[in-house]
A and B are shown apart, each in its own frame.
Chain A
């Protein structure tokens, strides 16, 4: 069973801090990973894609991929209350058809 696992415990950080979200995956053939942000009652919104080992930065967001450890993370610098949402990690299913395997999500709360 291919899985993407995320910490189910909500994360709470103060405004201006760095929020660190992590996930691990079991599909060794997976090469592409994604982070989605989902506000309550809304649909997931793609915020980062990462395809190779290392870091990828986009504004306040940094995605990190370590294929050897099967580990993906998302760092949010200078966290804002508007970052409060559920963050979904997803990996491409190596079985094909461009399917993604989603984690259950981690809820982030940024308090003023």
Chain B
């Protein structure tokens, strides 16, 4: 079974704080993704990575950065958290090569006050 884990289920941070969200997969997957999901807006791609140290911007990268120093770990960084970054953050990893199936972690519900 594909297993994707995220560091926190719920997180509350203050405006201006630097926030780290971590995602770990245990299947040696190359492709990993960070999304945010908001009511009425669906899933929106923030950043993705196709290999160690390789990253690409998604549709809404502003205010975020990412880090992938090891294959199994993909981190999302909010440089200076703002209230409009309150959201559900979902990490996904592509499963088996050639299937393109993405498997999601449990999500982190981030509240910025």
Residues of A within 8 A of B (CB): 32, 34, 42-46, 49, 88, 90, 92, 97-100, 102-105
Summed over the interface, the residue pairs from A and B with CB atoms below 8 Å come to a total of 47
Proximity bits, B95-113, A CB within 8 Å = 1, else 0: 0000111111111000000
Q: CB distance A45 to B42 under 8 Å? A: no
Q: CB distance A46 to B42 under 8 Å? A: no
| Closest 5 pairs (CB-CB, A-B) | A104-B42, A43-B104, A43-B107, A102-B43, A98-B31
Number of interface residues, chain B, beta carbon within 8 A: 22
Q: CB distance B106 to A42 under 8 Å? A: yes
Of residues A42, A88, A98, which shows the largest number of chain B Cβ atoms within 10 Å of its Cβ? A98
- Chain B residue nearest to A91 (CB atoms) is B100
Cβ-based interface call for B48 (8 A): yes
- Chain A residue nearest to B29 (CB atoms) is A98
State the Cβ distance, B45 to closest chain A Cβ, in Å.
7
From the candidates B48, B50, B99, B105, name the one contacting A49 in the complex (CB within 8 A): B99
State the Cβ distance, B51 to closest chain A Cβ, in Å.
11
Q: CB distance A98 to B94 under 8 Å? A: yes
Cβ-based interface call for B24 (8 A): no
Of residues B56, B58, B94, B99, which shows the largest number of chain A Cβ atoms within 10 Å of its Cβ? B99
Q: CB distance B103 to A99 under 8 Å? A: no
Given the contacts A97-B31, A97-B48, A49 and B101 also touching, CB distance less than 8 Å: yes
For the complex, what is the distance from the CA of A105 to the CA of B103, rounded to whole Å?
Answer: 17
